[in-house]
A and B are shown apart, each in its own frame.
Chain A
Amino acid sequence: MNDFLPIFVLLVLASGLVSLVLLISVLFGPRRRARNETKLQPYESGMRPIGPAQRRLPVRFYLIAVLFILFDIEVVFFFPWAVALRELGWAGLLSMLIFIGILEAGHFWLWRRGALEWEKMDK
């Protein structure tokens, strides 16, 4: 628990610094109200926005994110296993190889089916 105290201190410092900077800019910054619509545009230089910032994405991004979960879960289970690896010996290695084998089988199946292809779906 005490190992995490620096992280907590860091969090407090980071959020404190950010709120301090924001507070200072509110207190001392110029507070002229925008009087015209040009002032309210995203780019005051006159550049017109070419699209909304929070745009709708194609579904392909979601498929890649789902694949990421596979490796994420693998890593979370790897860690405690790796800590105990020396005492586990060959039996531990074998069980983990079976685990990886099952996951990689799914991964390779998706690969063969073309789930990782980005451009193929465009044709």
Chain B
Amino acid sequence: MGLQNAINGIPLEWYLIVAAALFSIGLYGVLARKNAVAMLMGVELMLNSVNLNLLAFWRYLAPESAAGLAFAAFVFVVAAAETAVGLALIIAVYRSLKSVDPETLTQLKL
């Protein structure tokens, strides 16, 4: 444990703590915001923290394996895809309701 496994002088735990903080902040952003675009920003922060974890584990535990890199690359693509579709939906909702507050989306309620 400790500094003997540190890479560039940084132990793995530092990355895990930063990623955990980023994930928690993103979770707060997703759940506590009143605006759909702001919620999407929270999702982006959470995806970033997951990717940071993936690449930190790749570096510390399996630097020769391409699997860690491939997973992180696919997370990139899925994040871009999710943003594009999510924002398109928000724009479509805004056009018909003139609002981006998710609490106004109650058309499916009986």
Question: Taking beta carbons and an 8 Å cutoff, which residues of A are in contact with B?
Answer: 1, 59, 62, 66, 69, 72-73, 76-77
Residue of B nearest to A1 (CB): B8
Judge whether B91 and A76 touch: CB under 8 Å: no
Contact check: which of B76, B88, B95 meets A76 at CB < 8 Å? B76
Contact with A along B79-108 (1 / 0, CB 8 A): 010001001100100010000000000000
Residue of A nearest to B7 (CB): A1
A-B contact count (CB 8 A): 17
B87 contacts across to A, CB distance below 8 A = 62
Judge whether B8 and A76 touch: CB under 8 Å: no
Name the prevailing secondary structure of the B interface residues: helix
Judge whether B80 and A73 touch: CB under 8 Å: yes
Question: Taking beta carbons and an 8 Å cutoff, which residues of B are in contact with A?
Answer: 8, 73, 76-77, 80, 84, 87-88, 91, 95
A59 contacts across to B, CB distance below 8 A = 91, 95
A76 contacts across to B, CB distance below 8 A = 73, 76
Judge whether B91 and A69 touch: CB under 8 Å: no
B77 contacts across to A, CB distance below 8 A = 73
A62 contacts across to B, CB distance below 8 A = 87-88, 91
Judge whether B88 and A66 touch: CB under 8 Å: yes
A62 CA to B94 CA, complexed, in Å: 14
A72 contacts across to B, CB distance below 8 A = 80
